[in-house]
Amino acid sequence: MKKYIANLAMFAAMLCFCACEIDIDKVQVAPASSYTAPVLVDVADVIVDNTNSTEDVTFVWSEASFGTPTQIQYSLYFQKDDKTALAGNSFSNSLTMTKADINGLLVNSLGVKANDAADITAYVEAGIADTAVEPLRSSNTVAFNVQTFKASLRSLFICGQFQNGWDVANAPEFWETGGGTNVYKILIDYLAGGTIVPGEDQGFKILTQRAWAGDYWGYSGLTPSWSVPENGDENFQFGSDAQNIYHLTVNLGSKTISAEGIDALSLIGAFDESAGWANDVDLVYDCVENVWTAGPVTFSGGETEFLIRFNHAWDRKLGSATKASDDVEGGFELVEGGDNMKVPGDGTYLMKIHGNRTPFVIVMEKQ
């Protein structure tokens, strides 16, 4: 009986201890009436041009309060007419942006024209990190003027095992979706360097130059949209169920990376007369030249039409190669859902797709 009572007392003590632990860890939020919203400090006008685009602009605000000590995440927003864009997040009372990043956000997200002046308003929201507590908007909006400019495209590099051994000197380059967007896209064959070995993975990182001396990021620097298997070198990985083809999007503004898995990228059309729109020719990734190639394929009898499609299906295709590329010599921009493309005339062609820019670009090389 004594043993039973002792065990019961021990159990009660454990429950009390657990309850205390729960109370300690639980965030106690005060009534909303006691909250203090952040106040954004006035901002000077911003003039952006080719000579000063790397200069910093710092936005500062007063500290918010939710009535109890807690980690607060601040979000800075810009507005123009009926459009709003997130400029960035911070866990401190300020956010620093380059003039180039401000320019890109306005031109690509708020519809401001390049080489034009625009009146912008900014405000801050404060929220308790990792909770569903309604964020506090600042009690003020600050107006300032920005003179924009037409920004050149910037690029990043990707280095990984898919190159057959982390060849940083030849890391594939990929470009912004638009000048100053801070969003970069590339289509790669993740398994080009071999197949996944149980317990191992291909791995890759994102770099600012073809050298480890510059800035580079793994999963601790860019938050991935997928679950990355834990690894000591922080390489991005897709795990043992990885697909071959991935369309990667790096957003340096939000410090994120996302990946769209694709089964196949292929050419289909009126080539090789006996087949005629019946068979796909898969494009193969060349990580050294950083292009996807198909062919050679032969067109004859005036039948010169073709398309690029994803996953050997018709619900997603690339076509309408009529607008010449400004960046790839002899190339034409591809359009999602576009009409059939045509080669210049009968003959044998090697097709090359540049999947490291937006939109993709095709080059039709006659053999």
Supply the pLDDT for residue 308: 95
Average pLDDT, the chain: 87
Lowest pLDDT segment from 1-5, 111-115, 253-257, 347-351: 1-5
**Share of residues in the chain with pLDDT > 90 (%):** 59
Q: Given a cut of 70, is residue 22 above it in pLDDT?
A: no
Give dist(CA 82, CA 66) in Å, integer: 30
The whole-number average pLDDT for the span 64-86 is: 91
Domains of the chain: 32-147 (2.60.40.10), 155-262 (2.60.40.3620), 265-366 (2.60.40)
What are residue 194's phi and psi, to 5 degrees?
140, 180
| Rounded to 5°, angle at Cα 202 from 267 and 281 | 10
Amino acid, res. 277: W
Q: Over range 321-338, report the average pLDDT.
A: 90
Amino acid 8: pLDDT: 45
- 137 or 360, which is more confident? 360
pLDDT at position 164: 84
Residue 21: the pLDDT is 47
| Between residues 235 and 241, the one the model is more confident about | 235
The rounded distance, in Å, linking the Cα atoms of 205 and 237 is 9
pLDDT given at position 133: 65
- Give me the pLDDT at residue 43, please: 93
Contacts of 287 by beta carbon, 8 Å cutoff, 6+ apart: 162, 163, 164, 170, 172, 188, 189, 192, 193
CA gap 194, 182 in Å, rounded: 31
Q: How confident is the model at residue 274 (pLDDT cuts 50, 70, 90)?
A: low
- Mean pLDDT throughout 265-289? 85
Query: Nearest-CA neighbor of 125 among 115, 144, 147, 140?
Result: 140
189-212 average pLDDT score: 84
For residues 124-146, average pLDDT: 84
12/167: higher pLDDT: 167
**Max CA pair span of the chain:** 100
Predicted pLDDT of residue 19: 45
The answer, yes or no, to whether residue 33 has pLDDT greater than 90, is: no
Inform me whether the pLDDT recorded for 158 exceeds 50.
yes
DSSP letters along 259-322, please? EEEES-EEEEES-TTTTSSSS-EE-EEETTTTEEEEEEEEE-TT--EEEEEETT-SSSEEE-TT
Alpha-carbon gap, residue 150 to 113, rounded angstroms: 9
Contact 332, 319 (CB under 8 A): no
The stretch 166-190 carries a mean pLDDT of 93
DSSP string, 169-218: GGPPEEEESSTT--EEEEEEETTTT-PPPTT----EEEESSSSTTS-EE-
**Residue 15 clears pLDDT 70, i.e. is over it:** no
The answer to which of 1-10, 234-243, 315-324 has the lowest mean pLDDT is 1-10
Mean pLDDT of 307-323: 91
pLDDT of residue 5: 45
- What integer pLDDT is reported at residue 26 of this predicted model? 46
